Structure 1
Amino acid sequence: MDDPKRERFLRVASARTEKILNLTRLLGNCANTSNYSYTEEEVNHIFKSIREELDIQETKFRMKLKEDSGKRKRFTL
């Protein structure tokens, strides 16, 4: 690849996505009722907060796509 911005995006986005996925899996470990106690309201609050933040971040990407190009490409890394 000759585009350093593209190369940096692929490297950084892949690493950060992997971190998020790993942390999400670690959060899932908290579902083990042998080790933890929680309420449905707490679970709802956790996942509502995560969804809200994901929506905010996805909107940033979508807005940039609309600004940069009227044509959509298939997503691949």
Structure 2
Amino acid sequence: MRDKRRKFVELVENRVNRAIKDIRLIGNLANRSAYEYSEEDVRKIFRALQKELEAAKSRFTGDSGGRDSDFRLEG
């Protein structure tokens, strides 16, 4: 049982830290002098992120919600 716990801790620390890093990189895109985006773009981005966070959280509580396709801003 300790091996399962150790593996969980190792994986979750790596994955959460990677997710945090990627979220920070998304935040870097807010630089209006380097990028052009609309408020609707911002809403879509954070709606998609929030949806995935909620889906991941629900899996920990026993709900096994389906997986949607990858995020696309346009198209």
TM over 0.5: yes
Aligned residues: 63
Partner of 1:60: 59
Higher helix share: 1
Rounded to whole Å, the distance in 2 between the matches of 1:16 and 1:4 is 18
Larger Rg: 1
Matches within 5 A, 1:62-77: 62-63=61-62
- Percent identity over paired residues: 33
Please give the TM-score of this superposition, normalised by the length of structure 2: 0.80
Unaligned runs of 5+ in 1: 65-77
Q: Using CA pairs under 8 Å that are at least 6 residues apart, name the structure with larger relative contact order, 1 or 2.
A: 1
Runs (4 or more) in structure 1 with deviation over 6 Å come to none
RMSD: 1.3
